[in-house]
Structure 1
Amino acid sequence: MEIQTNVSLKPYHTFGIEVKAKEFCEVSVVAELKEALRYAEVEQYPYFILGGGSNVLFTQDYDGLVIRVNTKGKEKVSEDSTTVLWRVQAGENWHDFVMWTLDQGYYGLENLALIPGTVGAAPIQNIGAYGVEVKDVVETVEVLDVDTFDIKDIPHDACAFGYRDSIFKRQKGKYIVLAVTFRLQKNAGTLVMDYGAVKAALAQMKVDAPTAEDVAQAVINIRQSKLPDPATLGNSGSFFKNPVVDFAVFETIQKTYPDVPHYKLNNTDVKIPAGWLIEQAGFKGKRFGDAGVHDMQALVLVNHGKASGQELFDLAQNIRQKVKVDFGIDLAFEVNIL
């Protein structure tokens, strides 16, 4: 393991902001990760665990050690007549893994295609899209306990999964995800195609009897049409969580906006798209210097070239304040702010 000093983080996060880490290292095995953590402790440095860099906004240089997890590998744990368990290392690219599962004839992740980031980040955020969340297929999460250096498998029921939430997010800093074991289906079964956008994309593809591969391609088409490629326009995907409000709040909004898009979760809670709220607040497509809101998806903040992290954070705060004034809703960040 090599410790580098004064390292630009621009290539390592999808906003592409020019910020530097005081010290930086990449780890490819658990022993190196432990070594890096011990080094940070001895030097009394704060540290930050970095995966694909698709869910972080650096507002300033990082005055500590950035540890990039680059562990690789997939291992079949067990299988039966209908399912198979695969343990996947945290540093594996998420989208590549999803497409690999389809190539192998394993199903359950097709709706989560083209989500940026790594496998290790997936359970932390409980990533989800188009009616599927990663919790639906997570069997166990292998973690390193930062305090004791013990390695343990946390079973699904102990992960406390919620909407873009988990025990790993709530107890931030206690665990580092090392690997995730997924229970995948050997046959496609019932595909999740309830979302209108997915149905429309499949119709555009002229698919009459969709396969899991078709659903994945439909999701890819949707994402590519709505979301900017970080390689050409810096962004972190969804910057805000879609808020969940009680029915009374929803009905109040619906009186003014009869066509407000929504998804009823149960008898008391309704999810409203944050992108719609931001668009109604007047921010869609707006640009403030090089910090802006994407013109196709208002949920996405973008770096048009030389925006600073602070400028993007200030824009995000202005959006939150306007949505709060207009709708009485507090938008929560989906990205990590440093």
Structure 2
Amino acid sequence: MTDSATDASTDRIPALAELTTIRVGGAPAAFVPADDRDTLVRAVRDAVTSGEDWLVLGGGSNLVVADDGFDGTVIHVRTRGVERLSASDGRIRIRVQAGEPWDDLVALTVRNGWSGIEALSGIPGSTGAAPVQNIGAYGQELESALVGVEFLDEETGDVLYLRRDELGLGYRTSVLKRGRRGVVLSVDLELDDTTASDGVGAPLSAPVAYAQLADALAVPLGARVPVAELRRAVLALRSSKGMVLDPADPDSVSSGSFFTNPIVSESFARSLPRNAPRWPQEPAEPDAVIGLPPGGLHPLDVPPLATGEYTVKLSAAWLIENAGIHRGFALPGSGAGISSKHTLAIVNRGGGTAADVVQLADFIQSRVQAEFGVLLQPEPVMVGISL
């Protein structure tokens, strides 16, 4: 764009360190605040038409930008609003504007007694970013509640509706993260209305699906608890790990979990120490029981057995800790360090730079790969930098 907009509140182009939760990153060449849908659509189409590079910024919670900034236009999504749509009995369907803060949305659903995203409490960032990452926590993923998204496609310039099954959702990924360029304008969710028709009893959560959360609630896996109680438990767990934004907590100056939990083959997982946590991603084939006729079976009578390889999810935090990198670790002279509460988070300890973050992340990758043969992959979007 030739006419660059600036932050209207300061009449200047802000450094991205001011707009990201890890507080690193230089200023972009241009900055456009988009407070409504029309402004957002127009800003993206203008940027695409100009041929300039462009970047969409929401809550800045999953983004690490180079110290040199961004040589293009940053479009800051600040659209707000939650609209109730028609849905079948017992279900609640809502349309949420992309700039709506995610945790504000979760709090709204809990207050109304709607369940389906309560375990995703405390996750920072905007609603529009949630399907890009297919955010998840404590046994719940956005995918289970997502209906679809309104999407401005960069290639055609058209506003499309992409259903959940068109988004290629997986563990912390989607087609929107894997190269389909554009902007999420709004997100449609479908939730359960668990308010009792007679007004008796607290609205209940979805079944508890994560052992640590079940322990915190003192209930068995699969139990349902008051939805507000589950939200409180999740926020307490996340706070204990520095994963809830809090100006009083220096460990929350991060981009959240910096590495994804790696998914490896079952045979590779067996090569790791026995105490390494692992979660099979596919159910194991049941044992085959073959009846024996008189005289036994001829080899040609034996039915073929499944020989497929299963995948296993590992704990990135365990791998980091057991590679000798502990909570509070920092390289000498660096402004970045490991959180004192959780080894998966890289935090800005004050005055840290993107170069500091990358140096520490690269060191972690190298140690884990040398020790266990696993190359950890970063979860945040890296702009102008790479590992």
Both proteins in one fold, TM over 0.5: yes
The structure-2 alpha-carbon separation of the partners of 1:34 and 1:210, relative to structure 1 and needing over 3 Å to count, comes to closer
Query: Which residue does the alignment assign to 1:199?
Result: 214
Matched, 1:141 2:149: yes
CA distances 1:146-204 after superposition (whole Å, capped 9, x unpaired): 2222111111111111111111111242x210000001001266733232321222139
Q: After superposing the two structures, state which structure 1 stretch, 149-158 or 260-269, moved more.
A: 260-269
Q: Is the 8 A contact 1:132 1:192 kept in 2?
A: no
Query: Which residue does the alignment assign to 1:309?
Result: 354
Give the counterpart of 2:260 among 218, 231, 241: 241
Distance across 2 between alignment mates of 1:182 and 1:292: 37
Letter in 1 for 2:36: V
Query: Which residue does the alignment assign to 2:189?
Result: 182
Deviation, structure 1 residue 226 = 1.0
SS of equivalent to 1:68: strand
Q: Is the 8 A contact 1:141 1:181 kept in 2?
A: yes
Deviation, structure 1 residue 279 = 0.9
Matched, 1:56 2:75: no
Deviation, structure 1 residue 41 = 4.4
Q: Is the 8 A contact 2:204 2:226 kept in 1?
A: no
Q: After superposing the two structures, state which structure 1 stretch, 267-276 or 230-239, moved more.
A: 230-239
Matched, 1:105 2:120: no
Distance across 1 between alignment mates of 2:355 and 2:265: 33
Q: Is the 8 A contact 1:22 1:64 kept in 2?
A: yes
Distance across 2 between alignment mates of 1:50 and 1:328: 34
Structure 1: state its 5+ residue gaps. Answer: none
Deviation, structure 1 residue 295 = 2.1
Query: Which residue does the alignment assign to 1:294?
Result: 339
Structure 2: state its 5+ residue gaps. Answer: 7-11, 195-202, 285-309
The structure-2 alpha-carbon separation of the partners of 1:38 and 1:149, relative to structure 1 and needing over 3 Å to count, comes to closer
Letter in 2 for 1:196: A
Q: After superposing the two structures, state which structure 1 stretch, 3-12 or 133-142, moved more.
A: 3-12
Q: Is the 8 A contact 1:230 1:236 kept in 2?
A: no
Query: Which residue does the alignment assign to 1:79?
Result: 87
Instruction: Normalising by structure 1, report the TM-score.
Output: 0.92
Query: Identity across aligned pairs (percent)?
Result: 33
Please identify the structure whose Cα radius of gyration is greater.
Answer: 2
Letter in 2 for 1:218: A
Query: Which residue does the alignment assign to 2:290?
Result: none
1:164-179 correspondence to structure 2 within 5 Å: 164-173=172-181, 175-179=182-186
Query: Which residue does the alignment assign to 2:276?
Result: 260
Distance across 2 between alignment mates of 1:93 and 1:37: 21
SS of equivalent to 1:79: coil
Query: Which residue does the alignment assign to 1:3?
Result: 5
Distance across 2 between alignment mates of 1:219 and 1:190: 12
Deviation, structure 1 residue 263 = 1.8
Matched, 1:276 2:318: yes
Instruction: Normalising by structure 2, report the TM-score.
Output: 0.81
Q: Is the 8 A contact 1:46 1:64 kept in 2?
A: yes
Query: Which residue does the alignment assign to 1:331?
Result: 376
Distance across 1 between alignment mates of 2:166 and 2:246: 34
Give the counterpart of 2:32 among 2, 16, 25: 25
Distance across 1 between alignment mates of 2:50 and 2:161: 30
Larger strand proportion of the pair: 1
Q: Is the 8 A contact 2:115 2:206 kept in 1?
A: no
Deviation, structure 1 residue 261 = 1.8
Matched, 1:210 2:255: no
The structure-2 alpha-carbon separation of the partners of 1:150 and 1:245, relative to structure 1 and needing over 3 Å to count, comes to same
SS of equivalent to 2:206: coil
SS of equivalent to 2:40: helix
Letter in 2 for 1:194: A
Q: Is the 8 A contact 2:261 2:315 kept in 1?
A: yes
Matched, 1:96 2:108: no
Deviation, structure 1 residue 22 = 1.8
Deviation, structure 1 residue 38 = 4.3
Distance across 2 between alignment mates of 1:323 and 1:6: 39
Distance across 1 between alignment mates of 2:54 and 2:376: 27
The structure-2 alpha-carbon separation of the partners of 1:189 and 1:218, relative to structure 1 and needing over 3 Å to count, comes to closer
The structure-2 alpha-carbon separation of the partners of 1:331 and 1:81, relative to structure 1 and needing over 3 Å to count, comes to same
| Number of residue pairs matched by the alignment | 331
Distance across 2 between alignment mates of 1:100 and 1:158: 27
